[in-house]
Structure 1
């Protein structure tokens, strides 16, 4: 479908690609990976035609259309409603619609067969292209990406850069190009939108090439990984987890082959050195020299690009309670975020605060950092708590005219220059880099400076708002290791599932104005939430059944009144038989009551066990207990309905 052949590309004198090749097949889902600065986004721009290669060529089939989502689209301006911007994807459909409307208007005053024929032709094509459903398709994708129905008619200009990017992504998805190229598509998405996009891409009919630092996203969406490595494109047939295993295996085989070849080369060199001056062996020595010249040398395995070294430390631990929110309410005008919400952070907690954008996650973080007021309630701070707050707005708060050393000195005035240089070295700033001005740094470099300032704070309570943004995968793994080794407390807002799963021992989310808590990892929380949602759906269904049962009960009560009047006219023998039936029905009712009491006791005991954090250390055990709990609840519902029917039977008989 698309072939990259012997591609070479330079920035000034620096080679980004040298004779690199790659073939993209139909329906392939490619994850394009590599360290920051290796040229991933550059490759997408070369394929899109924005950059011209210095060597080689790119060829594509006639039916290979391209769609490219890049970060430049953040600056796109329009006063059109976002639904209209998204529907710009339907170029032909829009042109047909405009022409159809023009003809319809013209027919009112100029009725003729030629116009009618043209109108019929255009309407047939419009219907064939699905023109009557384009608005519904646009609405579906925009709402999948997190927009509310009421927002679809608002102008694009009213939305922030991240939301504008979602509109441009929606427009691109609606175009359905043969090759969809996405540069960091998850950067501006919340968890529900990321999961929706994964589902959409998995059903996408064309080919996809994604640049992303989100490991879970790559695992869930890609079946091929292409690594930018040493000015070349190295292909791996599998998802990101497969790539990591396969790369390690390839590196091991290459290193062994290199060492084996080096051993043979040294042996040949020793032979040559020993016998080159000896007349009887000179010919053999010369032959060995020629053989060595012809050997295709295997390269030693290159070490990965340098990575950060990070370790958060503190001198004084906090008290047992780090922070506590009591009956806190927060609103922005008519938008209610919290309503008498409560939450407690204890020493050693590593909490992930998750959920869709606009739910108030960052607001809660700012409240805990005393950077946001609230309408009612109280925030209680623990003893000896020293906090440090990392947020995206802090990147903007960096002093642009400072160099790196000056910026770090503002956070660690008591540190020597050698200590500050050492900290900068941990974050990959070495040599003359420390004299760079903040204003010339990239987003990733600014993130590293902000993290370096946090490290200097020696805080025992960290508040992290999207700390993985702008970090590559290796840097994210370093941050995970640093947080896991940190002995203080932290609360994190993040949409990076790999990061959340790796560090969190508690999950917080905001629901109905309350802060809800789950005592376990993110994977355990997901499993629990799926079970809860399924149970709520079932309860909703059983609620309709209960309403029906209530109506039936009322009808039976009416019948009971009538039967009671009739019973007064029964003979003595019939009265005796009736009493026997009543005793049997009462006995049945008593047995059902005993079963219900036992089921309720078993459920309470099981819920106590499910509430224990230790239960979730064994995933298999937790799964069995959850299934057993669901089964007991279902049995209880069945027995309760049986009890109601048995009670009605007793009443009927009496």
Structure 2
């Protein structure tokens, strides 16, 4: 269908492609992968004819049509409805519809047999092109991509960039080109829409090339992988998981061949060095010199699996309880997001917040961060909790005149340049790259800098909104490693199923205007959801924990219903005077205890800070016994601090319960 033969393309003196070849067959589903900057999007534009080749040819069959979903389409705006925009795909049908309407109007005032014949021909062609079903087809695809029925008649201009991109995707799918090229389509889709697109592509009759960092998406939709590496196009006949296995095998074979060739080269060089001066062996030595010059050298295998070798620490340990959300209500006009919702976060929770767009995931992150206006209810951060918030719009807060080192230094002034270079190295910046100004970086590069800043902030609680958008697979792997060794607490919004499966120990989702929790991994959650769909029950009781306390444990019935029928302690419990006096005494005791524990915490933190200064002293560092003793004291104080913090939090919770009882 399409053949790329000995293709070459240069950016200045740098070869993006050099004598690269590939063939696209009808119905083939290709995943195009490679590191950022290797030229994946450029290849799609070369196939489209937007860029001119420096060498080689691209041959296309005469009847081939191409549809290209790219980031440039984000800028397209119009006051037409999204249904009208999607239906622009039916160019011939739309032309015929206008012709039919015009003929009918003309016949009302000037009926002629000639007009009847023209109308009949137009209607026959319109029917042959399924013109009477085009609107229902457009509605089906738009709703499959996440739009509601009410959205279909809203102007395209009123939607955000991600939603406009979905409309352009719908238009392409309706055009049904011979070759559909999709550049990072999952960046703008939620999980239900990703699943819908997967099913659509699997049944799509034409060929598909998709650039994506979503491993599971590639596993589910492609039958071959083309890797852009070393200015070449390397073909693998299978999905992404097959590619990983096959590439490991190829690398093993290549490395073996490289090592064998290097051994032969060393042996030959020793022969030349030894005998080049001897008349009897000079001819043989010269022959071996020519052999080395003509030898096709085997390249060493380059390890592209970057590893994080830097620990992202924080200086202040938080208490056991990180966050309480109580009775939270949030609306956008008539649209209800949360209604009297509750949630709890404990130290060490690694939460993935998932679900369809429009359910309020980003809103919930802003509520947790305390930046969402007009929210009813209570938000309480725990003792010593410090948080850092990463979201796509925060890329704009980077100082564009800073270079990368300066930007990271602003996040953590205590780090040396060597330490900051190590962090940037983890995020694939090396050498003089670190002196590049923020303003010249690509979107993906800015994302990596912003993520590095978040992890350097020494926050013990992270909020991350779609951190994998615009990252290549290597960068996603780095982020997984960083979060895996991060000892704090985090909540991540992501639609990347592989990423979520690697980093989360709890799943949150918003349902019935409540924050629901699944106390397990994403793979376990998916299995549970499939079982739930197969055996539907009341969604208010289906989760493996009560949504009212949202802490991953089933609440005792006594928490929900008391003797006078009140629910969740919303009404004060009926009690006589003696009981109330007992509660008041207990409240006073709990309050006193919490104040005492606070004083102990302040004293212990002061001792720990002083001890840290002593441990940094050159005198102590040079004396092994002193350092050992100080380290033992430090560990003892940290253990004691954790214990006292837990006692303080228990006392605070007890005081809160008693206050509710007293009304």
Question: The TM-score by the shorter chain falls in which range?
Answer: 0.7 to 0.9
Distance in 2 separating the partners of 1:336 and 1:290: 79
What is aligned with 2:447? 447
Q: What is the CA-CA distance between 1:422 and the residue it aligns to?
A: 4.5
CA contact 1:308–1:428 (8 Å) conserved in 2: no
Matches within 5 A, 1:494-509: 494-509=494-509
Distance in 2 separating the partners of 1:286 and 1:491: 67
SS class of match (1:336): strand
What is aligned with 1:467? 467
Q: What is the CA-CA distance between 1:290 and the residue it aligns to?
A: 4.5
Cα pair distance change 1:276/1:444, threshold 3 Å: same
Matches within 5 A, 1:161-240: 161-240=161-240
What is aligned with 2:297? 297
SS class of match (2:339): strand
Q: What is the CA-CA distance between 1:438 and the residue it aligns to?
A: 2.2
Distance in 2 separating the partners of 1:69 and 1:108: 43
| Deviation by residue 1:474-509 (Cα, 9 ceiling, x = unmatched) | 111111111111111111111111110001111110
Cα pair distance change 1:309/1:78, threshold 3 Å: farther
CA contact 1:309–1:478 (8 Å) conserved in 2: no
CA contact 1:258–1:299 (8 Å) conserved in 2: yes
Distance in 2 separating the partners of 1:327 and 1:108: 64
What is aligned with 1:323? 323
Q: What is the CA-CA distance between 1:401 and the residue it aligns to?
A: 3.0
| Deviation by residue 1:569-627 (Cα, 9 ceiling, x = unmatched) | xxxxxxxxxxxxxxxxxxxxxxxxxxxxxxxxxxxx9x9xxx9999xxxxxxxxxxxxx
- Does residue 398 (structure 1) correspond to residue 404 (structure 2)? The answer is no
Distance in 2 separating the partners of 1:178 and 1:289: 53
CA contact 1:329–1:374 (8 Å) conserved in 2: no
What is aligned with 2:261? 261
Q: What is the CA-CA distance between 1:426 and the residue it aligns to?
A: 3.9
SS class of match (2:187): coil
Q: What is the CA-CA distance between 1:307 and the residue it aligns to?
A: 6.4
What is aligned with 1:68? 68
Q: What is the CA-CA distance between 1:41 and the residue it aligns to?
A: 0.1
CA contact 1:311–1:455 (8 Å) conserved in 2: no
| Deviation by residue 1:32-56 (Cα, 9 ceiling, x = unmatched) | 0000000000000000010010111
Matches within 5 A, 1:370-449: 370-449=370-449
Matches within 5 A, 1:24-63: 24-63=24-63
Gaps of 5+ in 2: 554-663
TM-score w.r.t. the length of structure 1 is 0.80
CA contact 1:46–1:53 (8 Å) conserved in 2: yes
Q: What is the CA-CA distance between 1:64 and the residue it aligns to?
A: 1.3
Q: What RMSD in Å do the two structures reach over aligned CA positions?
A: 2.4
CA contact 1:354–1:493 (8 Å) conserved in 2: yes
Q: What is the CA-CA distance between 1:324 and the residue it aligns to?
A: 1.1
CA contact 1:353–1:507 (8 Å) conserved in 2: yes
- Does residue 145 (structure 1) correspond to residue 145 (structure 2)? The answer is yes
CA contact 2:71–2:183 (8 Å) conserved in 1: yes
Q: What is the CA-CA distance between 1:362 and the residue it aligns to?
A: 1.0
Distance in 2 separating the partners of 1:306 and 1:377: 44
Q: Which has the larger radius of gyration?
A: 1
Distance in 1 separating the partners of 2:248 and 2:221: 22
| Deviation by residue 1:426-469 (Cα, 9 ceiling, x = unmatched) | 43444544443322221112112212221222111111111111
CA contact 1:319–1:383 (8 Å) conserved in 2: yes
Cα pair distance change 1:144/1:237, threshold 3 Å: same
Q: What is the CA-CA distance between 1:294 and the residue it aligns to?
A: 4.2
Q: What is the CA-CA distance between 1:414 and the residue it aligns to?
A: 4.1
CA contact 1:166–1:188 (8 Å) conserved in 2: yes
Distance in 2 separating the partners of 1:179 and 1:448: 32
Q: What is the CA-CA distance between 1:63 and the residue it aligns to?
A: 1.9
Q: What is the CA-CA distance between 1:316 and the residue it aligns to?
A: 2.6
Q: What is the CA-CA distance between 1:417 and the residue it aligns to?
A: 4.8
Q: What is the CA-CA distance between 1:384 and the residue it aligns to?
A: 1.5
Distance in 1 separating the partners of 2:424 and 2:287: 54
Distance in 2 separating the partners of 1:276 and 1:469: 60
CA contact 2:16–2:39 (8 Å) conserved in 1: yes
Q: What is the CA-CA distance between 1:97 and the residue it aligns to?
A: 1.1
Matches within 5 A, 1:482-561: 482-536=482-536
Q: What is the CA-CA distance between 1:364 and the residue it aligns to?
A: 1.1
| Deviation by residue 1:534-577 (Cα, 9 ceiling, x = unmatched) | 2128x99xxxxxxxxxxxxxxxxxxxxxxxxxxxxxxxxxxxxx
Q: What is the CA-CA distance between 1:400 and the residue it aligns to?
A: 2.5
Distance in 2 separating the partners of 1:377 and 1:79: 38
Q: What is the CA-CA distance between 1:378 and the residue it aligns to?
A: 1.2
What is aligned with 1:547? none
Gaps of 5+ in 1: 541-604, 615-654
| Deviation by residue 1:325-361 (Cα, 9 ceiling, x = unmatched) | 1111111111111011111111111111111111111
What is aligned with 2:89? 89
Q: What is the CA-CA distance between 1:373 and the residue it aligns to?
A: 3.6
Deviates more, 1:382-391 or 1:235-244: 382-391
CA contact 2:517–2:552 (8 Å) conserved in 1: no
Cα pair distance change 1:260/1:418, threshold 3 Å: closer
Distance in 2 separating the partners of 1:170 and 1:51: 25
Deviates more, 1:407-416 or 1:388-397: 407-416
Matches within 5 A, 1:547-586: none
| Deviation by residue 1:507-548 (Cα, 9 ceiling, x = unmatched) | 1100011111111111111111111122128x99xxxxxxxx
What is aligned with 1:481? 481
Distance in 2 separating the partners of 1:423 and 1:26: 45
What is aligned with 1:241? 241
Deviates more, 1:346-355 or 1:286-295: 286-295
Matches within 5 A, 1:14-25: 14-25=14-25
Distance in 2 separating the partners of 1:325 and 1:127: 57
Q: What is the CA-CA distance between 1:405 and the residue it aligns to?
A: 3.5
Distance in 2 separating the partners of 1:412 and 1:262: 45
TM-score w.r.t. the length of structure 2 is 0.79
SS class of match (1:108): helix
Cα pair distance change 1:482/1:405, threshold 3 Å: closer
CA contact 1:444–1:470 (8 Å) conserved in 2: yes
Distance in 1 separating the partners of 2:54 and 2:151: 46
Cα pair distance change 1:308/1:72, threshold 3 Å: farther
Deviates more, 1:295-304 or 1:448-457: 295-304
Distance in 1 separating the partners of 2:126 and 2:458: 65
Distance in 1 separating the partners of 2:403 and 2:247: 38
SS class of match (2:109): coil
What is aligned with 2:355? 355
